[in-house]
Structure 1
């Protein structure tokens, strides 16, 4: 994962658009939940997977309401991440295991 604080806000400005976004809630200089709202509003066809150590049910509910495709808690199983990414890219519903 890269430290890309300003770039989530430029998703559609580059020549190529992102197929998927992995987004942490806590990032330097920005709040991932606010970035999620922006991405969901501006790019509703781009699935956003929240990856975070937070287990706050209110934050999880808010993220899902605001357009997150899935929420994975850290530490996460790399195989589960693979399953959720595959499901998101193939536009299938994902259910946490």
Structure 2
């Protein structure tokens, strides 16, 4: 009886590929590293509003991109930056008048 060995595959970083090749929006480089929630929200709004390639509304696209980043980078984000990104959600609601 022969035992089959599993061949280990390299981990696929689909989230990195989506972030770099996404056809949804063009984001300002390093925007998610900012410590100012208002700056993050303004940049996301600007990018979402200018994009012609999004499927939903600018608000939906901006919030989705922010949530995507939080969910994918969440394990490796410092608590302080995670708090800034969560505050950016509230700022995003304000700039889109969705309070």
- Which structure has more RCO (C-alpha within 8 Å, separation ≥ 6)? 2
Give the TM-score of the pair, scaled to structure 1. 0.32
In our comparison, the structure showing a higher alpha carbon Rg is 2
Give the TM-score of the pair, scaled to structure 2. 0.32
